[in-house]
Amino acid sequence: MEDNIFDKIHEVDLQKTMEKSYIDYAMSVIASRALPDVRDGLKPVQRRVLYSMIELNNGPDKPHRKCARIVGDTMGKYHPHGDSSIYDSLVVMAQEFKKGQVLVDGHGNFGSIEGDGAAAMRYTEARLTKFTQEVCLADLDKNVIDFGPNFDETEKEPLVLPMRVPNLLINGAEGIAVGMATSIPTHNLCEVVDAVKAYMKNDKITTKQLMKYIKGPDFPTGGIVVNKDDLPEIYETGTGKIKIRGKVEVEDMKGGKKRLVITEIPYTMIGAGIGKFLNDVCSLVETKKTSDIVDISNQSSKEGIRIVLELKKQTDVDNLLALLYKKTRLEDTFGVNMLAIVDGRPETLGIKDIIKHHINFQYELATRKYTTLLEKEKANREIKEGLIRACDIIDLIIEILRGSANLKMAKDCLVNGNVEGIKFKSEQSKKQAAGLDFTEKQAGAILEMRLYKLIGLEILNLQKEYDECVKKIE
């Protein structure tokens, strides 16, 4: 008799199922997609792109590689999502007007400050910058960080990069997760490094004292922070609003006329914001809210921003500027929410917290690096000691090798003094061989040693290398 189909139906609580599924999804987006890690200041996609580039041997001393190749490698090995999201991350890391320190050296059309998109990935090329090579990826071979399996467990990928500066502060971050978002302004590299040094000298330092070094955000587009008095609270709590104004210079023209020249813009104006600003100024003239502007032109170039407003004679410049600040994006607000992943959980951090986590990370990196180097040098010393000792009794070792039937027998004799089955020229040699006690590593090195190593100068070099090794260990 067939099973009743109703016996296979399981009743589930829809609310609990939806809650669990949505929480799993939300945590995945928060921890593995949208928010940067406090240690290296990178989102997973950025970390994977940079690691793919180092795997491709795409360093600053190598030729640029097609971005399509980099994106393909990243997607196939580490980031199983759309190629456009990977390429967008690559592009942003190469745009000088978005990052305090660009991590990728782009070759070709990587977009413009006015919102023009980058060329398709099949046309553009990229490689790592020297900064990235030395600051983000140094010591990867010294077991300083943990690696985990990729999405299909066929490759290993770094869980964090060994970043040597607080990248979270230097390059900032933007990301929208589920129910939370991060928005961290960029800062000056030298100021941040000075603040790190100050914290290392005195870990009881206050946020206000740290601000002697980090005076405020340093946006790649420039601009002037209007509400400087709010910065201490913003940097203490990790949240707040920064008001930024464009930098405006007044230039005299012929016939007593003047013009306003905007040379720096608010960071929030990048992209379509510049076009919107020009339209807003035209709208002010058309709706007769001002009659002081005669002409407006965007003379920006690769050298920098230059937006020119030509004015009528006897224009009240201060009044006009006040109007522009109020009615256009020449003054704008940058919302700060310094949210990052700390030990797998999202946390809102002040600048002191970010620097503290950075220094703890550096301590961990240095500890792991020098532990690895120490173990390596100890192993090297062990082998050198074995080779020096072998050179002193080389005739006996040759006798053991010639008298052994196979490699295993010879190695057993060197390590354990087992002389069974080995033919010796004399009983004295056999007795000497029975007293040998080289380690496994030493025996392996002796058996692989080349004959030219027995030349007098080579033996002296071996002794010199051993002495250097001992000094390194100390």
Q: Which residues are designated catalytic?
A: 123
**175 - beta bridge partners?**
182
Given a contact cutoff of 8 angstroms between Cβ atoms, the answer to whether 268 and 330 are in contact is no
Given a contact cutoff of 8 angstroms between Cβ atoms, the answer to whether 100 and 110 are in contact is no
Give backbone dihedrals phi and psi of 232, rounded to 5 degrees, phi first: -55, -40
User: Which has the closest alpha carbon to 330: 236, 266, 270?
Assistant: 266
d(CA 403, CA 148): 48
Place of tokens 């210079």: 249
Listing DSSP states for 149-209 in one string gives E-TTSSSEEESS---SS-HHHHT-EEEE-SS-EEEE----HHHHHHHHHHHHH-TT--HHH
Given a contact cutoff of 8 angstroms between Cβ atoms, the answer to whether 58 and 127 are in contact is yes
Tokens of 290: 């001002």
Work out the angle at residue 173's Cα, subtended by the Cα atoms of residues 172 and 176, and round it to the nearest 5 degrees.
160
Burial tier of 235 (Cβ tally within 10 Å: 0-12, 13-18, 19+): buried
Tokens of 461: 């070099």
Given a contact cutoff of 8 angstroms between Cβ atoms, the answer to whether 36 and 175 are in contact is yes
Tokens of 379: 């192993």
Give backbone dihedrals phi and psi of 347, rounded to 5 degrees, phi first: -140, 145
Contacts of 116 (CB under 8 A, 6+ apart): 109
Work out the angle at residue 16's Cα, subtended by the Cα atoms of residues 11 and 18, and round it to the nearest 5 degrees.
100
